């Protein structure tokens, strides 16, 4: 069976599935999946160099905001 966010196991009831994948230099971008919805990825064109962050409501699972913080340029 396929699990949410392509995880190896299903999450318990009343829990959200998530998967955060790191990028590889400028070849492969990072991605953030939450409850089987890709929030950030190179395909969505909303990732950047540095830290990529998605803020999600922990009760409802609603995406509130995404942003990137470039740690290289200061």
Instruction: Name the DSSP letter for residue 64.
Output: E
pTM: predicted TM-score of the whole model, two decimal places: 0.84
DSSP SS3 for 5? helix
Res 23: pLDDT: 84
Tell me: pLDDT of 56 over 90.
yes
DSSP string for residues in 7-57 = -SSPPPTT---EEEE--BTTTB--EEEETTEEEE-TTTT---SSEEEEEE-
């Amino acid at each position: 069976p396929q699990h949410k966010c392509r995880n190896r196991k299903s999450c318990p009831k009343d829990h959200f599935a998530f998967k955060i994948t790191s990028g590889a230099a400028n070849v492969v971008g990072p991605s953030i999946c939450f409850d089987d919805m890709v929030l950030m990825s190179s395909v969505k064109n909303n990732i950047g160099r540095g830290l990529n962050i998605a803020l999600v409501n922990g009760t409802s699972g609603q995406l509130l905001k995404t942003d990137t913080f470039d740690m290289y340029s200061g």
